Amino acid sequence: MSRFFATGSDSESEESSSADEITPKPSGTTFTKQSLLLSDDEEDTKRVVRSVKDKRFEELTNLIKTIRNAMKIRDMAKCLEEFEQLCRAFLKSKTVVDKEGVPKFYIRLLADLEDYLNQLWEDKEGKKKMNKNNAKALSTLRQKIRKYNRDYETEIASYKENPEQSAEEEEEKDGVESGSSLESEDETGEEGGVSAKSFMKKKPASEPAPEASKFLKAATGEDESESDDEEDDEDWDSDSVGSSSESEDEGTSASVAMLFLKKDSNKEKATSDRRKDPRTKRPKKKERIEEEEIEEEGAEAESGEWRKVKGGVPLVKEKPKMFAKGTEINTAVVVKKLNEILQARGKKGTDRAAQIELLHALAAISNENNLGEGILVKIKFNIIASLYDYNPNLAAFMKAEMWKKCLGCIEELLDILFENNNIFIGENIAEDSENLAISDQQPFRVRGCILTLVERMDEEFTKIMQNTDPHSQEYVDNLKDEARVCGIIDRLLQYLEMKGSTEEVCRVYLRRIMHTYYKFDYKAHRRSLGLQGETKSEQDQEESEGEDSAVIMDRLCKFIYAKDRTDRIRTCAILCHIYHHALHSRWYQARDLMLMSHLQDNIQHADPPVQILYNRTMVQLGICAFRQGMIKDAHNALLDIQSSGRAKELLGQGLLMRNMQDRNAEQEKIEKRRQVPFHMHINLELLECVYLVSAMLLEIPYMAAHEFDARRRMISKQFHHQLRVGERQPLLGPPESMREHVVAASKAMKMGDWRTCHSFIINEKMNSKVWDLFPEAQRVREMLVRKIQEESLRTYLFTYSSVYDSISMETLSEMFELELPTVHSIISKMIINEELMASLDQPTQMVVMHRTEPTSLQNMALQLAEKLGGLVENNERVFDLKQGVYGGYFNRDQKGGYQQKQGYQRDQKGGYQQKQNYQRGGYRNQNQGSY
């Protein structure tokens, strides 16, 4: 249609626009001369002027569609790329957003994408199957979306509270936008005409519809299909560009004569009247849903049965009625309803959350009708059991909401049991013999075990701590719940001491011990040092006046030692007791208890959690010995754990990646469940440092004493490995890591330079990494300095004794800054143990060397003689093998004679060896005589 005709009246423009839409598109791609000539005019006429808002929102919706498609196929790389483009596009449309507000479809995508990414992140199996690019993109996109969503927290929260309402508002806005896009072109569209977008969407693709009557059929069919399609419109999608381009194609390819024909306006009005605007359709749909709900509620009120739930979007419904109207509510009716609810437990398709709500409702009903505490206790037992069953997977941990509910229910149950002494509970009570009704003669009898519920609660708490990021605030918040857990265990302990059996008391005592043994009692420590000053608050004063953890542990453990009949509980109690002693530097009590228990003899037959506890106890025992200055005991206690190279795994503080291929997924899950929560970990760097320093203080003097001994054995393989690694480095710079500090200190000690050794072991870096972590850090540092001085003195005497004829003890005392009695004591021990061939001259305070140690040349000659002797012996063995072993009687006699001769040669060899030893001894005696 040319520009000349565009200046006509409104009715003409309406008729012409509708004619353009109705014109059928001829098959094929043949173009007439007239259509080619008029195509430019048609494009000018059909061009739609759109607002900036429409353009920007269309760009956003297209990007959102691409992201949703990528989400469906799990293409994380595409999601990341499109999300970055979406952020840039949203930044461009900032002016529009400031005027109109953040569109709902954008908030909806942000919420859905974050939930989708969290779901993928928790799916461990799915993450393993991802390729490298997708896994990397998932991690990057998750971080970006979490950071990006902080600016829209309120909008996302409001959307998540009522997602259905948000979707409906979005659809309404979508309808408004599609209608407003045609206002500039067609003013009469709001009265009864249909928009180009909705028309193009709803028109059947199979029918070309060349006549107006066909359009009437399409319009009537549209009413039926519209209600089904309107739920699929999720975004603010304005397809006016697509519809205009399609209509242009239709117009240009149609015959020219059809463009100028006048249409019947009555037919057009009839068509437009039949088409309904989607905005007018939605309220009807809502009314229909409401009517159906009212009918269902009426039918339910009459029948009193369960409501049938339809699939699809969950609607906000009233809570189902537990009992029909007029039912007399008594104990039997409530028990029957309780059994009906419990019958669905564990079945496929059961809504566990709804089951918990029903049980809560049943408990409220029993309270309202005063049915007694017996039925309430039974319902509480089942509520707690249902909360535990909420996660069907054993490895999964409870969500925060369920965990809080569980703690609250157990506390309420304990309140009821403490308030009513006439309630007896136990696993041995049969269901038939339960007494739940109120009676003056008989007490309540309820089947159930409160101890089992508390033990399961304790296990769930451990699982929550295992599955929480230890470096997050969430871990700290969860750890605050340990006070509630310990409070529940203490109350149960009091209850079972009154009414429980000995076995149950031992079990609950062990639970209390497991929450106490690894904690350092700072209050008792301050009291023992006499540092307890004025407390700041009444709560601090109450805590300081409370019972020491050592007294509590002693009382609980001794009860278990006396009363327990199972080896496992007693073993765990002994190990926890030793750990607690060692943690508080009670070395002799811890050592004696470990030696008396003989646990080291059969611990390999225990289950893995007990073995992990044993390893933790031995490590703590070794660290305690180190703090007390018992270097050899510390080294022996830590040797097994550190020499294995798997300290992290043996202590239950993580899995080693190098062993991942040796275990399958099931074994990995089992081992992860055995891990110790982060707040109970032992610092592995501190452990390794203590071990290496102990090995250094033992190994360096030993190496100096046996420098030329070919049969010298290694005390610590790991320490020698670190020394070799240090020697291999082509460029030696200042030490950085803890291991490098120990290696550098060892080299200084080997030369007898104790000051350099001291500076490498005790400095600011090592203090912050290791030594400041001890409770009495200053005392440990003083002990270390003392040990370094003493061992450096021993090393110096071993290394340089051959140089001196005699040396003054006062000189040694000044060199190593030790007291004269200490120097005298160290040298006396070395002489008594025959480590140093010397004697003490008391008047002059001198150490006189006896020169019995051979020189380096003499040592090398002795080593050569020993090696030559070994070579001769090997040569004789080879010669024996090369002698032919022939069959026959005479050969046997010859062989026997040869063997006798061989024995004679061996006798000669023995004489040679004796002669050699005699010569050595004579040489030494000669040397002694010459001096």
pLDDT in tens, 104-130: 888 999 999 989 998 888 888 888 888
pLDDT in tens, 526-539: 887 776 544 444 55
One DSSP character per residue, 460-506 reads: HHHHHHHTS-TTSHHHHHHHTTHHHHHHHHHHHHHHHHHH--HHHHH
Q: Are 687 and 642 in contact (CB under 8 A)?
A: yes
Indicate the residue type of 799.
Answer: T
In terms of Cβ atoms closer than 10 Å to its own Cβ (0-12, 13-18, 19+), residue 748 is buried
User: Which pLDDT band, with edges at 50, 70 and 90, does 307 fall under?
Assistant: low
Q: What distance, in Å, lies between the first and last C-alpha atoms of the chain?
A: 132
Least confident span in 191-195, 288-292, 384-388, 490-494: 191-195
- Distance (Å, rounded) from C-alpha 93 to C-alpha 85? 13
- 845 backbone φψ class: left, alpha, beta (φ>0; ψ -120 to 50): left
Q: What is the dihedral of CA 157, 163, 168, 173, to 10 degrees?
A: 30
Q: What's the pTM value of the predicted model, to 2 decimals?
A: 0.60
Mean pLDDT of the chain: 75
The conformation of residue 448, written as its DSSP 8-state character, comes to: -
Indicate the residue type of 635.
Answer: H
- Distance (Å, rounded) from C-alpha 344 to C-alpha 356? 12
User: Which pLDDT band, with edges at 50, 70 and 90, does 459 fall under?
Assistant: very high
- Distance (Å, rounded) from C-alpha 303 to C-alpha 308? 12
Residue 206, pLDDT > 50, answer no
459 against 263, higher pLDDT? 459
Residue 368, pLDDT > 90, answer no
Residue 882 tokens read as: 């090369």
User: Which pLDDT band, with edges at 50, 70 and 90, does 290 fall under?
Assistant: low
Rounded to whole angstroms, the maximal C-alpha distance in the chain is 143
pLDDT of residue 440: 65
| Percent of the chain whose pLDDT exceeds 70 | 69
Mean pLDDT, residues 394-410 taken together: 86
pLDDT of residue 535: 47
Q: For the chain, what are the domain ranges? A: 52-162, 683-802
Residue 252, pLDDT > 50, answer no
pLDDT of residue 452: 92
Most confident of 271-280, 328-337, 560-569, 712-721: 560-569
Of 668, 647, 594, 650, residue with least CA distance to 625: 594
- Distance (Å, rounded) from C-alpha 366 to C-alpha 343? 20
pLDDT in tens, 498-548: 888 899 999 999 999 999 999 998 888 788 777 654 444 455 555 555 678
Annotate 684-717 with b (16+ C-beta within 10 A) or e (fewer). eebbbbbbbbbbbbbbbbbbbbeeeeeeeeebbe
169: which strand partners? Answer: none
Least confident span in 147-156, 560-569, 663-672: 663-672
pLDDT of residue 837: 86
pLDDT of residue 223: 45
Indicate the residue type of 908.
Answer: Q
Indicate the residue type of 605.
Answer: H
- Distance (Å, rounded) from C-alpha 79 to C-alpha 330? 59
Mean pLDDT, residues 374-384 taken together: 88
Residue 347 tokens read as: 């079945």
Residue 760, pLDDT > 80, answer yes
Angle between helices 754-761 and 738-750 (to 10 degrees): 170
Mean pLDDT, residues 654-672 taken together: 76
- Distance (Å, rounded) from C-alpha 447 to C-alpha 378? 8
Least confident span in 17-31, 155-169, 464-478, 571-585: 17-31
pLDDT of residue 856: 78
- Distance (Å, rounded) from C-alpha 638 to C-alpha 694? 10
Q: How far is CA 140 from the centre of its chain?
A: 19
Q: What is the dihedral of CA 771, 776, 780, 783, to 10 degrees?
A: 160
Q: Are 530 and 500 in contact (CB under 8 A)?
A: no
pLDDT of residue 291: 53
584 against 322, higher pLDDT? 584
Mean pLDDT, residues 545-569 taken together: 88
Least confident span in 24-33, 440-449, 852-861: 24-33
Residue for token digits 């535990």? Answer: 388
pLDDT of residue 36: 40
